[in-house]
Structure 1
Amino acid sequence: MLVRKIGFIILFFASVFSKAQNLQGTIIDSITQLQIPFANIVWVGHQVGTIADLNGEFQIIKYNNDTLSFSAIGYQELKLHSKDLPLSGLILLTKKNEVLGDVQIKVKKRRRKRKQDKAYILHQAIAKNRINNDLKKKPYYDCEVYNKIEIDLNNVDSNTQNLLLFKPIAFVFQNPDTVSLKKSFSPVFLSEGFSNYYYKKGIGEKEVVQASKNAGINIPSIAKYTGNIHTDFNIYNNYLRIFQKQFVSPLAKGSWLSYKYFITDSLKSGDTTFYRLDFKPRREEDLAFEGYLITDNKSHGLNEITLNIPDRCNINFIEEFNIKQKYVLKDSVWVLEYESILIDVNPGEKNYGFYIQKNTHWMNYSFNEKKPDAFFTSAQKTEVKDSAYQHGDVLLEKYRPKKLEASEKSIYNNVDSAMNTRYLKIIKNLSLMAYTGYYPFKYWEYGPYYTTYSFNNIEGKRVRVGFQTTQDLLKNWRINSHIAHGFGDKITKYRGLITKFYGFDKWRFFEFEHLNDYKTLSASDNAFQEDNILASITRRVDPKYTHTIRSRFVWFHEWYNGINNSIELKTEKLVPLGTLNYKTSNDEFVDNLRTYTLKLGGRFALDEKFIRYGFRRLSLSTRNPRLDYNYTYGMKINDFGYEFHKLEFDIADRYFFGFFGFLDVKLLGGKIWGKVPYPLLLNHQGNDSYYFDNQAFNLMNPFEFASDQYVSAMLKYNFNGLISNRLPYFKRLKIRTFVFANGVYGILNSNHENIILLPNGLSSLNEPYLETGFGFDNIFKLIRLDFIWRMTNINSQQVQTFGVTFDLVPNF
């Protein structure tokens, strides 16, 4: 009897195990290849199931004749028969299609009571727990970051390689990708970077770039901006700054005013419920996203989020913008693991445009403090290892989270080969000329091209030839020179400038210049160059030139990016031209003035970013306030010159008010101690052109007002579509509105006229100067118009009390 029972048990288990075995696998996203945690796995027939763990891994009994269902929030359900299960154990799930439009239709006619709305309650719980879930609120963490940025030419097809424009580099477009994205594309740029990132609350952040590589563009300074600090944004902030605009974050507590929210899916995993919360802007033109997020009912932290910019949002040249972020649970904290960004930059639907694809992996998080405070206090937030760019290819093989595919490796080869063709070198040179004004050859550059021919009231027709050397001739020395001739005054002018660089990563140089040319002494730094042909065409009043013969020596030393000091020794001989003259109080005329000055200057713009190319450096600005300051001491030598002290400062900043727009503020001031002739006074910067100058008073003429002490403010408030998005015609054209006011209060002591009398047209301010107005920009995505009223100092008949200026400002 016992033997028969034992035999029955053996036969029973043999029967069971003949039908069932353990099945192990991992559930991953079909696009990102990332694990999907907490997915449900259920045998449909047997109703036996399990849940994947945090890493997407699962284990379940295998039945030989059943269908296994895989489901996860935000993904399409996948059903596989037991005989079709992959041997690798990798189960690929595909994202669900968006259903926001259907959701809107279902609830369109029904007004939801906010306090009873489950979506509103869930959103408020997410907003309330932002501090607990925001990694930036943790005391310390560090991690490794891998960035890959790819730029592709899109809307390409089989005819692209045959076009005259692309035929010389047809091999780049022979095998366009026609499957991955909405438009077919061919890669034209690829950049990779790997870095170590460190963050300490209340102290700061620091990044060390270990490896960097670019395809086609040999600009090592780009390495500094391929890491986490300069390409990251925090979704838990109230506003997200994108394209210099502030988008309302869907996680902000008050974002209910800008968004509609809907719970569209849920999934229960043990005692935890995950929700999919969809959102879209209340007004499509506003700076807000549409998309969804996945959260849970315990931590209310992000498991995943997708952000898209709506088609009708008031932003230019962006046909598609998508951000996807994936988070993973690490030491009870949801941390960012993966991010993909896709931007379609396109001037028109049928035109060629560019895809910008950025993929970032964060790895090996640690919350154990490793670095002292001194490590973070350096003004230089990003450090690039010497070997990062030189040996980037070898290092990235070591650091990449996964190896490059064959198609990605071909990008490096194709782009590098294309950039070495004569055709693309010419295209690159023409692009450089359009931006810098100089056309480059191997050892020298011709330019600026826009000064080759011009005209004015003193010289008549003027021609000029100029050049500067490149690093291919002298690596650390630059020579810049020009010669010009006026056919009206029949005088030849010239300039020579020699610069010796002793630092490029930190901008440092010595410079000597000798100039013999005509200058407008009261023009702003932003004004057209005196002999720019556009200045000749757009003038509304004749300029007042001074023949300037100048020699100067400059030492410039940058301590950190955006923090520098300089010393300038200068001697000048100034000769009045046209209506200007140097007349003493004794009615005697002086032929010229001689000056000898020592100038100490500096700049403080913390975290200002730059890209360097050869002898050029482009500022990418800073999010912090900027301060420029100068102290000038005037000396007498052999009874020539004037003894004085001059102090000047310039402060600028931008203040964002989220949904309501932003305010640009500029404050200036200066004071002179001692007596000086009027060319050395604080001559307030006017504009003699119809072209707008954002550093000048646009209805004030150059050499109209001067002071020996003054304070000035320039304010501009940009509504960023707040008003125009509610006006039908403006909304359709995406026109933006702004208001502004510029004023200056100055005092001029009459003692200065004991040296030289003020010429006709130049005077002190009788009252504070004020001009104000409003404007429209983004007209045809390019034009800005300012309507300006001059409110004070309007007694003279030569004063223009109302004016319209224009500017060409392509922006997003």
Structure 2
Amino acid sequence: MKIKLTLISILFCAISLVAQTKVKGIITDIDNIPIPYCSIQFNGSTEGTTSNENGGFYLESKEDWKELKISFIGFKTLIIPLAAKINYNLKFTLEEETDALKEIIIVTGKQPKKNNPAIDILRKIWAQKRKNGLSHFNQYQYKKYTKVEFDLNTIDKKLQQKKIFKGLEFVFKDIDTSSVTGKTFLPVFLNEGLSEVYGDNILKKEKEVLIANQNSGFNKDQQLINYIDDLYSEYNIYDNYLKIFDKSFVSPLSKTGINNYNYVLADSTYIGKKWCYNIIYYPRRKNELTFKGNFWVNDSTFAVKEINLQVVKNANINWVKDVYIEQEFELLNDSIFVLKRDYLLSDFALSKKDKSRGVYGKKTTIYKDYVFNKPLKDERFYDKKVFTANEDSYSKPKEFWNENRLEELNENEKGIYKLIDTLKTVKKFKNINKAVQTAYSGYFEIDALNIDYGPIFSTFGFNDVEGLRVRVGGRTYKSTNDLFRLEAYTAYGFKDKNLKYGFQAKWLVNKKNRFIITGGKKNDIEQIGATLTATTDVLGRSDGSSSLIGTGTNDKLTKINITTLTGEIEPTPNLILKLSANYKTLSSASDTFSLDYNDADATTGISSKIRQLETVFSAGYYPKRKMSGFGVQRDAANTDFTQYFTQITRGSKNIFDSDFNYTKVQFSFFKLWEIGGLGRLKTSLETGKTFGEVPLGLLSVAPGNQTYFIFNNTFNLLNFYEFTTDKYASFHLEHNFNGRIFSRIPLLKKTKLRTVIGFKTFIGNISDKNIALNTTGNSNEILLRAPSKDPYYEYSVGVANIFKILRVDFNFRGNYLDNPEARKFGITAGLRFNF
């Protein structure tokens, strides 16, 4: 969890590279009106760009060019001599072409869909669309080299003179300039990866084998490496949608592109030995997830030879000021094009203003040494999974990299490794790094003891039983890949004046199948009516137990004393099997809440405490999940994987004085659906049944939410224990339109707000025997009821992306309005740091 902050905390270093030709300027017509989306190229080359919405552009090349070519259909082409290598603050005026294309008159603004030569070419691309040239071969193999770099950009004297850099002035020795944006930057992080990719189109299988990986200062940090891989996921320009930073952008080559883009046939020339057309494209509407740019396409195969894509500034995406993509394809024979080079630059910033500072993220991928139709690998090779880290891959010597890189490092990239090693010896840098990591991870590292204090954000809480609650805790932590970890905490309530505690130890016994033994104990107060499926993690705690503010009295809390021993194994990646033995006692923590049940063996005929031994078996399957690290505790590196989970709990009577015999079977399912330009849909289903007679503390309670905050898989307008069941089904649906609705409303499109709608329903039943067991006549007992005939439901309409981080939901209750203290309407909010 420290990776994102690690990237930010090392933004202090530098080196340089000087390009041969640089041009920066603005293009207008004779009335001084800026002309967007013009084609700008170094004359005689295919190196070029397009002007932005304000007519501005920046173009740079490593070559020495003497002329600049500016063109746009409807205007006369302009050839400008370049007097110097660096040409800034230039202004160019285009004159209208009176005889241009008599079939149609193409000017700036919306372009016609009919009789447009660019769209005629686009239709031929669709007809001969290639997902990848590799699909034409039975088997394929190639080398893949990936280089990811992060830079601090917009470096000026004001920044260099800030107090935070005192003692670190040496990092500003040399400053480079971006070839895409023209801004100054300092390289701060570099990650290199080299792998072999094998594929078999007959078997429909592909596998990437890591050969080597290294980065500046963080070798073997698999969490960081996986995060970078997920941040810059791969994409195919021929797909209808390109997924970038969890957003689905409409591809300019898709069949739906003509509804989202304007297309202009701008030029044609030879690229190598092939005649190619140049097509400029730009969005038809603002605020949508689209690009601007141009591409070169072959006139016979209609395969793309080169393409560049730039996210428009008014696109509804957070924290990213600019995204620029270049792809170059290689001609293998007269008809097959394969990807040769892929370059992506992203400008992360808090503001989209031109002068705002930010962080460049650059990813360059080189594809080389293609081999085809050699069935060197069988099906067992593709099915064999890698369970452990290949330590040798992360410790290759310098000589190996010098011989095997598919693209040489430039001078500033070479200097990053040395510079980071130097920075790690500077005390001020180490202090800054630790402060940022603490703020993000929630843990404060005590390096000398290999211990982390925290989580610091759980220090304070409040409920009606404990009053103000103070919690302190910590964990052993030597590295992310520790094989053993011990965690512990203690808490104190100033109202009940009781001390609580919990501790847990985990040991990774076998790396290959990830056999883990976990043991722990907890004595605390919890809101067990806030979740349906209980966790075997004794340090887990429901958010409803100690929220500082709520919608009503939070006194229905339970004293829980639990001891647990768990063994888990991962026989195949993303399939986790667990077997646990738990012994727990449950009793009410409040004088106004009763867990009493009828007990013929008790002296009074009523018992107030539950003693229960449980055996719990669970199986979780998470296809396409990516994990960070190889230690006893790992984190998911992505969030878009499907989740299947089933749990069987068996309660055994009389063993260790246990009270009940029962079996509880539960199943849950979660899936995130990407629906192209319409946004993202989250669906979750959970169902369960308890066989046997059990008291309230062991029944299934519809998870209520008595806070003003958004919590997943809870019902925002249900109070705790409003519905209690022994058989239930729960369904949640949430759709985020990613700004598509607000972008169509004139007065709201600039706000970048996003609409979120939700629907939740719960149905269940409780048997007469369980009602009788829990009916004792106690004035504080819960009235047991279940929505057995009409499913309970509620729906919501939310506005997200307020100030980029805030989401507010307006929740409406659909039925059961006559229940005591039923809430018909409520508002919940939450912070969401999303792109």
Same fold (TM over 0.5): yes
**1:140-168 per-position Cα deviation (integer Å, ceiling 9, x unaligned):** 32210111110011122234343122324
| 1:591 partnered with 2:608 | yes
> In structure 2, which of residues 281, 299, 302 is the aligned counterpart of residue 300 of structure 1?
302
2:460, 2:689 → 1: CA distance? 38
Matches for 1:298-377 after TM superposition, within 5 Å: 298-331=300-333, 332-348=335-351, 349=353, 350-368=355-373, 369-377=375-383
In the TM superposition, residue 786 of structure 1 has moved relative to its aligned partner by 0.3
1:135, 1:616 → 2: CA distance? 38
In the TM superposition, residue 414 of structure 1 has moved relative to its aligned partner by 1.0
In the TM superposition, residue 229 of structure 1 has moved relative to its aligned partner by 12
Tell me which amino acid in the other structure corresponds to 2:593: L
> In structure 2, which of residues 628, 636, 647 is the aligned counterpart of residue 630 of structure 1?
647
1:580, 1:717 → 2: CA distance? 37
**1:445-491 per-position Cα deviation (integer Å, ceiling 9, x unaligned):** 11122333333211223322212111279953222111222222222
**1:314-344 per-position Cα deviation (integer Å, ceiling 9, x unaligned):** 1112111100001111144101111111100
In the TM superposition, residue 134 of structure 1 has moved relative to its aligned partner by 4.7
> In structure 1, which of residues 783, 792, 803 is the aligned counterpart of residue 826 of structure 2?
803
In the TM superposition, residue 98 of structure 1 has moved relative to its aligned partner by 7.3
Structure whose CA Rg is larger: 1
CA gap 1:784/1:269 in 2 versus in 1, 3 angstroms: closer
1:726, 1:783 → 2: CA distance? 21
Contact 1:211 1:395 in 2 (8 A): no
The residue matched to 2:677 in structure 1 has which SS?
Answer: helix
In the TM superposition, residue 529 of structure 1 has moved relative to its aligned partner by 4.6
Which residue of 2 is the match for residue 488 of structure 1?
A: 495
2:286, 2:480 → 1: CA distance? 54
Contact 1:561 1:609 in 2 (8 A): no
Which residue of 1 is the match for residue 574 of structure 2?
A: 562
Contact 2:568 2:579 in 1 (8 A): yes
Root-mean-square deviation (CA), in Å? 3.3
1:726, 1:132 → 2: CA distance? 32
1:773, 1:279 → 2: CA distance? 38
Which residue of 2 is the match for residue 82 of structure 1?
A: none
2:648, 2:829 → 1: CA distance? 34
| 1:746 partnered with 2:745 | no
With 202-211 and 132-141 compared, the bigger mean Cα shift is at 132-141
Which residue of 2 is the match for residue 167 of structure 1?
A: 166
Could you list the runs of 5+ residues in structure 2 that have no partner in the other structure?
1-17, 22-41, 50-61, 76-93, 97-104
Matches for 1:490-509 after TM superposition, within 5 Å: 490-502=497-509, 507-509=514-516
Which residue of 1 is the match for residue 392 of structure 2?
A: 387
| 1:210 partnered with 2:217 | no
Contact 1:741 1:770 in 2 (8 A): yes
Contact 2:230 2:638 in 1 (8 A): no
Which residue of 1 is the match for residue 102 of structure 2?
A: none
> In structure 2, which of residues 456, 459, 471 is the aligned counterpart of residue 452 of structure 1?
459
With 682-691 and 384-393 compared, the bigger mean Cα shift is at 384-393
**1:328-366 per-position Cα deviation (integer Å, ceiling 9, x unaligned):** 111441011111111001112344310001111100011
In the TM superposition, residue 432 of structure 1 has moved relative to its aligned partner by 3.1
CA gap 1:408/1:630 in 2 versus in 1, 3 angstroms: same
**1:646-666 per-position Cα deviation (integer Å, ceiling 9, x unaligned):** 111111112222122221111
| 1:145 partnered with 2:149 | no
> In structure 1, which of residues 71, 84, 88 is the aligned counterpart of residue 44 of structure 2?
71
CA gap 1:777/1:647 in 2 versus in 1, 3 angstroms: same
**1:636-686 per-position Cα deviation (integer Å, ceiling 9, x unaligned):** 134523211111111111222212222111111111111111211121211
Matches for 1:396-795 after TM superposition, within 5 Å: 396-442=401-447, 443-471=450-478, 475-502=482-509, 507-524=514-531, 529=541, 535-538=547-550, 540-578=552-590, 579-585=592-598, 588-612=605-629, 616-621=633-638, 623-638=640-655, 640-757=658-775, 759-760=781-782, 762-765=784-787, 767-795=790-818
Contact 1:131 1:137 in 2 (8 A): no
2:258, 2:481 → 1: CA distance? 60
Contact 1:258 1:282 in 2 (8 A): yes
| 1:197 partnered with 2:170 | no
CA gap 1:529/1:95 in 2 versus in 1, 3 angstroms: farther
In the TM superposition, residue 248 of structure 1 has moved relative to its aligned partner by 1.1
With 349-358 and 801-810 compared, the bigger mean Cα shift is at 349-358
With 427-436 and 344-353 compared, the bigger mean Cα shift is at 427-436
Which residue of 2 is the match for residue 87 of structure 1?
A: none
CA gap 1:798/1:217 in 2 versus in 1, 3 angstroms: same
2:231, 2:197 → 1: CA distance? 8
CA gap 1:122/1:152 in 2 versus in 1, 3 angstroms: same
2:110, 2:453 → 1: CA distance? 67
Matches for 1:11-26 after TM superposition, within 5 Å: none
CA gap 1:129/1:229 in 2 versus in 1, 3 angstroms: farther
In the TM superposition, residue 742 of structure 1 has moved relative to its aligned partner by 0.6
The residue matched to 1:535 in structure 2 has which SS?
Answer: coil
In the TM superposition, residue 400 of structure 1 has moved relative to its aligned partner by 0.5
| 1:250 partnered with 2:223 | no
CA gap 1:75/1:153 in 2 versus in 1, 3 angstroms: closer
CA gap 1:95/1:118 in 2 versus in 1, 3 angstroms: farther
With 510-519 and 499-508 compared, the bigger mean Cα shift is at 499-508
CA gap 1:565/1:234 in 2 versus in 1, 3 angstroms: same
CA gap 1:274/1:633 in 2 versus in 1, 3 angstroms: same
CA gap 1:171/1:219 in 2 versus in 1, 3 angstroms: farther
In the TM superposition, residue 782 of structure 1 has moved relative to its aligned partner by 0.9
1:629, 1:265 → 2: CA distance? 59
1:489, 1:647 → 2: CA distance? 36
Which residue of 1 is the match for residue 38 of structure 2?
A: none
Q: Percent identity?
A: 28
The residue matched to 1:165 in structure 2 has which SS?
Answer: helix
Contact 2:507 2:632 in 1 (8 A): no
> In structure 2, which of residues 274, 277, 282 is the aligned counterpart of residue 275 of structure 1?
277
The residue matched to 1:729 in structure 2 has which SS?
Answer: coil
2:707, 2:649 → 1: CA distance? 30
Contact 2:349 2:357 in 1 (8 A): yes
With 642-651 and 552-561 compared, the bigger mean Cα shift is at 552-561
The residue matched to 1:565 in structure 2 has which SS?
Answer: strand
In the TM superposition, residue 263 of structure 1 has moved relative to its aligned partner by 0.7
In the TM superposition, residue 75 of structure 1 has moved relative to its aligned partner by 5.6
Contact 1:677 1:755 in 2 (8 A): yes
**1:9-59 per-position Cα deviation (integer Å, ceiling 9, x unaligned):** xxxxxxxxxxxxxxxxxxxxx9899xxxxxxxxxxxxxxxxxxxxxxxxxx
2:240, 2:622 → 1: CA distance? 25
Tell me which amino acid in the other structure corresponds to 2:195: S
Contact 2:480 2:629 in 1 (8 A): no
Tell me which amino acid in the other structure corresponds to 1:128: A
Which residue of 1 is the match for residue 10 of structure 2?
A: none
Which residue of 2 is the match for residue 57 of structure 1?
A: none
Contact 2:144 2:366 in 1 (8 A): yes
With 707-716 and 302-311 compared, the bigger mean Cα shift is at 707-716
**1:404-457 per-position Cα deviation (integer Å, ceiling 9, x unaligned):** 233222111112322343333333333333333221111211112233333321
2:608, 2:229 → 1: CA distance? 59
CA gap 1:472/1:663 in 2 versus in 1, 3 angstroms: closer
* TM-score normalised according to structure 1 size: 0.84
Could you list the runs of 5+ residues in structure 1 that have no partner in the other structure?
1-29, 34-68, 77-89
